[in-house]
Chains A and B, each alone.
Chain A
């Protein structure tokens, strides 16, 4: 079966750095997305990786290792507004998007 694993919840301190991991087992791989979802709101796009390596976009970076079936989202200089759920999603060999359950990130002052 297809599976995406993320930690259910993480806590970090304002101003710090946090890494949210995502491991996947899917039938093929055609890309990995990270979305942010604030409580009660819609998911919004953060990043897309299809090749191995690190993609940096401001305070957020996303890393992919296809051989390990692994990705992480790195958030630097955490702000209170970063409190949200972070969703990992993988495109499989049929170009269907498979979603993880999301990681709820709690930022403490």
Chain B
């Protein structure tokens, strides 16, 4: 079934540890996105990639890094986790870059940093 997968589904992480959230899509979409969603706040864009080999910073990029080595994969790395990074993380993709394209979301990763 075509779509986006994320791993892990959930994770408890000690502060200061490094963590990579994985995201893979099989729709051959050019653009991919990482969001965090916190209670009472809208989805906030962390990083995005308009096409393989390029990445850009979103609204809240500090403490996070991404790479886009190929079309399908877009991992998000927390270099040294802090409790304020406790959140639900969603990966999304769209066929093309630009805010007029429908975004398709993965199931999310629930991260708790202690």
Instruction: Tell me if A95 and B98 are in contact (CB < 8 A).
Output: yes
| Complex: A97 Cα to B103 Cα, angstroms | 10
Find chain A residues with CB under 8 A from B103 CB.
45, 97
Number of residue pairs A-B, CB distance < 8 angstroms: 50
Instruction: Tell me if A43 and B43 are in contact (CB < 8 A).
Output: yes
Instruction: Tell me if B102 and A43 are in contact (CB < 8 A).
Output: no
Instruction: Tell me if B45 and A33 are in contact (CB < 8 A).
Output: no
- Residue in contact with A42 in the complex, picked from B98, B100, B106, CB distance below 8 Å: B106
Contact stretch, chosen from A11-19, A58-66, A72-80, A98-106 = A98-106
A/B interface sample: 30 pairs, CB < 8 A: A4-B42, A30-B100, A31-B99, A31-B100, A33-B102, A41-B108, A42-B90, A42-B107, A42-B108, A43-B43, A43-B105, A44-B105, A45-B103, A48-B102, A50-B100, A87-B43, A89-B42, A91-B98, A91-B99, A91-B100, A95-B97, A95-B99, A96-B45, A97-B99, A99-B42, A99-B43, A99-B44, A100-B42, A101-B40, A101-B41
Interface residues of A (CB under 8 A from B): 4, 8, 30-31, 33, 41-45, 48, 50, 87, 89, 91-92, 95-102
Given contact pairs A33-B102, A43-B105, A92-B99, a sample of 13 additional A-B residue pairs in the complex whose CB atoms are under 8 Å apart = A31-B99, A41-B108, A42-B105, A42-B106, A44-B105, A45-B102, A48-B102, A50-B100, A87-B42, A91-B98, A96-B45, A98-B42, A101-B40
